[in-house]
Structure 1
Amino acid sequence: MIGSLTLTIPPPWNHRHLRPTPPSIKCESGGVPLTKQGHRFFSSLAATADVNDPATANRLIKKFVASSPKSIALNALSHLLSPRNSHPQLSALAFPLYTKISETSWYNWNPKVVAELIALLAKQGRYDESEALISQAVSKLKFRERDLVQFFCNWIESCSKHNSKEGFNDAYLYLSELTCNSSSVYIKRRGYKSMVNSLCEMDRPNEAENLVDEMRKNGLKPTLFEFRFISYGYGKLGLFEDMERMVCEMEIEGFQVDTICSNMVLSSYGAYNAFSKMVPWLQKMKTLQIPFSIRTYNSVLNSCPELMSLVQGLDSVPLSLGELVKILNEDEALLVQELVKSSSVLDEAMEWNGTEGKLDLHGMHLGSAYLIMLQWIEEMKCRFKVEECVIPAQITIVCGSGKHSSVRGESPVKTLMRKMIVKMKSPMKIDRKNIGCFIAKGQVVKNWLIPDGEGE
């Protein structure tokens, strides 16, 4: 029998806060960014309170919640609920923290937070607490079918992210029953989409494909999302024939292969060093006029061990596209050549006018930033050699200051750019007003790239 829980329950969950967002520290594992206040709180917990010492932990939690604004308290809870939180030894304190937050005057019940907490509790084997929360949520939402299906979807997706098999199976049963019994097409579509997605997250794409067959029998045509989930689910497991089969089925159903789908395919090939399949796929993208994106670059170049070794080593990094292609092995050289044949990513990343010539490297992983930088240098040389070329007053490289890096304030891209700039003897310097940028006068950059007489 499901137990009762005498809580009021969780708060509104929004990554956009109404008040100014406090400084945050990116957790090392890439999970939810943590505020400085939250970081101090967790450090205090780790130093003075053992998870088996509930009295001390509860005292610190009570003090933190009482003295913290709503956004700070919720950020700390969000961090503990994340599957990738950088304080896993403190994850058992998520429930006590949640309980204390639920008692505040500003607190509003939020099913997404409850779903995430249930998934974490199930992973920890704390079934009494999780079942009580499930019972409470179902009771609150049972007359609001759309809200109920959203809760079940959040729950099953959270379980899949935590890789909690037992919690996943429970959530699947609830969601499957609601989906099958509902007369609403919206409920059925939402339920099937979430189940397919979550099965693929749990490395069960064959079951997800069976679910798509069930959708068809129930009169629902699969959407692009289901095909993407399943093809990528197979791809992550290295089952390329099944992945390619699903892509073909997607096209037969009338859906076009797009950049998102292509990036999933490339990422799958790259994870297994299937370079011989990556080059033809890049060529297929060009034939079908599917634009490359920053993620295309990231997916391809992250799978190139020689190139990644070069950019991480820094000292021996080639400073031109020609040098790079010569030094790489044949497979990686072919991939680089296919990428640079298209200028679509460079065109998106750069601006060029009389005021400023700017290259924005945000969103690029190390290999992508390096290759785009080399392309940009070549592009600037070509432009400066044209007599009618507009010379920007300032040239700027935007690489960020490391706010979102694994170690706050240490941007790998910025470090790479600095090394390249020094080795190239470039006139660009760190902007004193924005340490995430390198700047120089446009005419000075032109004189550096095109010495006197070379542009004639």
Structure 2
Amino acid sequence: MISNSNISLRRFLFNPPQRLSQSISDWGEGLSNVSWTYRTSMEVRCKAGTVPLMKQGHRFLSSLSSPALAGDPSATNRHIKKFVAASPKSVSLNVLSHLLSAQTSHPHLSFFALSLYSEITEASWFDWNPKLIAELVALLNKQERSHESETLLSNAVSRLKSNERDIALFYCNLVESNSKQGSIQGFNEACVRLREITRRSTSVYVKTQAYKSMVSGLCNMDQPHDAESVIEEMRIAKIKPGLFEYKSVLYGYGRLGLFEDMNRVVHRMETEGHKIDTVCSNMVLSSYGAHNALPQMGSWLQKLKDSNVPLSERTYNSVLNSCPTILSLLKDLDSCPVSLSELLTFLNKDEEVLVRGLTQSSVLDEAIEWSSLEGKLDLHGMHLSSSYLIMMQWMDEMRIRFSEGKCVVPAEIVLVSGSGKHSNVRGESPVKALVKKIMVRTGSPMRIDRKNIGSFIAKGKTVKEWLCQ
């Protein structure tokens, strides 16, 4: 438990001063204006990068938005207390992590993260976690709740200050969490403290982790030039920068569209002996795509091919999400092309280069599982545009395998689309809808598996007859 500091914090939480009570009331009034459709639906809308909510967590957050709790801090706190008491550890922490995320799909409820955390500290299963504290402090900084933030921060420091490594890692987490939340003051103050630790410390490990966090944080704060300066500080301190630091700066420049700087960093990495791997390549492609630089994206794909750098599912996602024609075609599943050859006729020159570059990679081969019992393609991890292209490649590949007769015909063919657990709307998978539509339009014998609604299944011989007819 969190001793006297926690007691004072709980008093502050559950007996807030007038200004804070009013702010909670204001939040309640705002919540009461949330549409009835949102409050009563079982939707779980999750932005990319946020923590997906469990069903129980969604029900709880939906109930926090109810008119019955609006403007009533006491009722809200009782509701939170009841939820934690009745929920297992995984559910309570899932909700808290979701609210602490900078990309939370419930920003209007993130105000209650501190109250939820305070109740969690009273649970029998609670273990004090400095990383969680850092995330909570950063959120409070973003909300300009300095009093609560300072209380949590001072408590954490007092617990950790006897161990240099632990206190350094805490400030590393604090730097990164503040940068993700976009809290300038919190970020700057955490960096100052972290620099003080690095100046005093003789530990290479402590210094390395501190520099890593500052580089990453500065890039998150759109300050890649300052992050490069930190890399130079590392050299002066006789600490060799690693791939992580270079990738952070590379992507920091790329995200801002500063491609000359991005490529300069890439060149420096190569000259210093760092291999340009798939992860680094995807960062470059994502940066080009975010700024509609399709010709540069095509050139980069060619460079990867010449250098034998493997592509991945994320490469497909980054590239295809940047192809406006494909995204436009997928808005109408009743008329979009249902074969690769037909799709290519719709694309402009730049997009065609990109699609051909992807289809010449080994991504599809690596995604297919093939045996006498089962031929399987799993679309998990692929965005809608990637699933679309991979699926058409897959049909062509199976047609070739079946027609040449050089491989065994599996007893079953399975295509895994997912059931929508991690979709923007829980239970409504865009990928599943796409697969179903294309199966119907092409006359495929594959149907939704009764045992697994996230899969399509058919006998191997039946699929062979369909594709080779």
Fold in common (TM above 0.5)? yes
Matched residue, 2:30? none
Rounded to whole Å, the distance in 2 between the matches of 1:86 and 1:49 is: 22
Letter in 2 for 1:385: S
Contact 1:119 1:162 in 2 (8 A): yes
Partner of 1:374: 392
The answer to whether the 8 A contact 2:9-2:148 is kept is no
* Residues in 1 aligned to 2:109 and 2:267: alpha-carbon distance in whole angstroms: 46
Match of 1:5 in 2: 5
What is the letter of the counterpart of residue 183 of structure 1?
Answer: T
Mean Cα deviation higher: 40-49 or 232-241: 40-49
For residues 171 and 127 of structure 2, the distance between their equivalents in structure 1, rounded to whole angstroms, comes to: 19
What is the match of residue 183 of structure 1?
Answer: 202
Give the counterpart of 1:95 among 104, 108, 114. 114
Aligned to 2:65, the other structure's residue is in SS state helix
What aligned pairs does 1:316-355 form with structure 2 within 5 A after superposition? Answer: 316-342=335-361, 344-355=362-373
Of 283-292 and 74-83, deviating more is 74-83
Counterpart code for 2:92: A
Which runs of 5 or more structure 1 residues have no equivalent in the other structure?
A: 11-23, 452-456
Mark the CA change 1:132 to 1:9 in structure 2 (over 3 Å): closer, same or farther.
closer
| Residue of structure 1 equivalent to 2:169 | 150
The change in CA–CA distance for 1:51 and 1:245 in structure 2 (over 3 A counts) is farther
TM-score (norm 1): 0.92
Q: Deviations over 1:257-306 (max 9, x none)?
A: 11000000000001111111111111111111100100011010000011
Deviation readout 1:71-116 (Å, 9 max, x if unpaired): 2222222222111222211211111111122123322211011111
| Deviation at residue 8 of structure 1 after TM alignment | 9.7
Does residue 47 in structure 1 map to residue 66 in structure 2? yes
Three-state SS of the structure 2 residue aligned to 1:328 is: coil
Letter in 1 for 2:79: L
Distance change (3 Å), C-alpha of 1:105 and 1:433:
closer
The verdict on how the C-alpha distance between 1:105 and 1:273 changes in structure 2, with shifts beyond 3 A counting, is same
CA–CA separation in structure 2 for the residues paired with 1:38 and 1:360: 28
- The corresponding residue for 2:325 is 306
Q: Which one-letter code corresponds to 1:303 in the other structure?
A: S
CA distance in 2, matches of 1:352, 1:216: 50
Q: Which letter maps to 2:403?
A: K
TM-score, normalised with respect to structure 2: 0.89
- Written as runs of structure 1 = structure 2, the 5 A alignment for 1:125-144 is 125-144=144-163
Aligned to 1:106: 125
Does the 8 A contact of 2:44 with 2:58 survive in 1? no
Secondary structure of the residue aligned to 1:354 is coil
Report sequence identity in percent.
Answer: 59
Question: Which stretch shifts more, 88-97 or 181-190?
Answer: 88-97
2:9·2:151 contact (CA, 8 Å) conserved in 1? no
Decide which of 281, 294, 299 is 1:275's aligned counterpart.
294
Which residue identity lines up with residue 397 of structure 1 in the other structure? L
Offset, 1:363? 0.5
> In the alignment, which residue of structure 1 is the partner of 2:91?
72
CA RMSD of aligned residues (A): 1.8
Q: 1:429 aligns with which of 431, 436, 447?
A: 447
- 1:230-309 map, 5 Å: 230-309=249-328
- Mean Cα deviation higher: 239-248 or 141-150: 141-150
CA contact (8 A) 1:346 1:376 kept: yes
Is the 1:152–1:175 Cα contact (8 Å) retained in structure 2? yes
Aligned length: 434
- How do residues 431-446 of structure 1 correspond to structure 2 at under 5 angstroms? 431-446=449-464
Structure 1 Cα separation of the partners of residues 269 and 44 of structure 2: 38
| Corresponding residue of 1:207 | 226
The one-letter amino acid of 2:270's match is E
Deviations along 1:8-56, whole A, 9 cap, x unmatched? Answer: 999xxxxxxxxxxxxx975432422223322222222211466753212
Letter in 2 for 1:403: K
Q: Per-residue deviation at 1:232? A: 0.5
Distance 2:414 2:450 in 1: 13
Whole-angstrom distance in 2 between the partners of 1:131 and 1:254: 44
Deviation of the 1:331 alpha carbon: 1.0
Match of 2:142 in 1: 123
CA contact (8 A) 1:115 1:158 kept: yes
- Letter matched to residue 196 of structure 2: E
Corresponding residue SS for 2:5: coil
Q: Residue 385 in 1 paired to residue 403 in 2?
A: yes
C-alpha distance in 2 between matches for 1:131 and 1:181: 24
**What is the DSSP-based 3-state SS (H/G/I as helix, E as strand, rest coil) of the residue aligned with 2:456?**
strand
Which secondary structure does the structure 2 equivalent of 1:385 belong to? helix
Q: Contact conserved, 1:7 with 1:99, CA < 8 A, in 2? A: no
Q: Deviations over 1:131-175 (max 9, x none)?
A: 111111111111212211221111111111111112111111111
3-state secondary structure, aligned to 2:455: strand
Identify the residue that residue 432 of structure 2 maps to in structure 1.
Answer: 414
Does 394-403 or 69-78 show the bigger shift?
Answer: 69-78
